[in-house]
Amino acid sequence: MEPRKLGQSGLGERIRREASARRRRSYWLTIAVLTVVAVILILMLGWRKKSPSPVLIKVSGVKPDFKIISIQEMPVGRQERLTVMALASSPLTNEALRRVIDWALFQVLDEYNRVRKRNVQVIWVYIYDQPDKRLSEWRAMAVFVDPRLPRHQVPAAAHIGGDAVQDGFVEYDFTNPVLRNDSGQR
């Protein structure tokens, strides 16, 4: 047997190197094909990202003059609920009060659900026309219930009843029986 010269390799060594190079090429080809398939699937199906924010009718027009006095968090289990009290200039028509309620809801939902990454599902909003009024002396009120909230989890107090007006996910009430009774006694 002849001694091997430097730079020459045996047949077995060459076959092993060739097989290794083929595996590397097929590995990168597989990675490229899988990447293309993933991109196509993402484009076809889109991101199925569930939005954490509840749906609310977009507010329009100029923001009315109001100030949120307080926000009380009232969590029940894993469900987040808020009570919002706001002060609006007086006197206001029912339509103006409704705009104040819509803007207050929009502002609170934006702050809690988008900025703070929370998931508020029920909000009670009370609008007052004077800062020194008692809690029961609201001028207008509304209840927002997230439409994705299962029916059995909607609190009973989320339905105002009486002459309240339901519009989308918000129920508005502009007639406070406490104020009506007080004004009738004077």
The helix/strand/coil state of 32 is helix
Q: What pLDDT, on a 0 to 100 scale, did the predictor assign at position 2? A: 60
Alpha carbon 110 to its chain's center: 8
Q: Which pTM value belongs to this model? A: 0.66
- Is pLDDT of 20 > 60? yes
pLDDT at position 185, please?
A: 41
SS3 177: helix
Q: Tell me: the pLDDT tens digits for 104-154? A: 999 999 888 878 888 889 999 999 988 888 888 999 999 999 888 888 888
What's the pLDDT score for residue 71? 95
For the segment 98-114, what is each residue's pLDDT rounded down to a tens digit? Answer: 999 999 999 999 888 87
Q: In degrees rounded to 5, what are phi and psi of residue 48? A: -90, 50
Question: Which residue from 185, 173, 85 is spatially nearest to 134, judged by alpha carbons?
Answer: 85
Q: What percent of the chain has pLDDT over 70?
A: 84
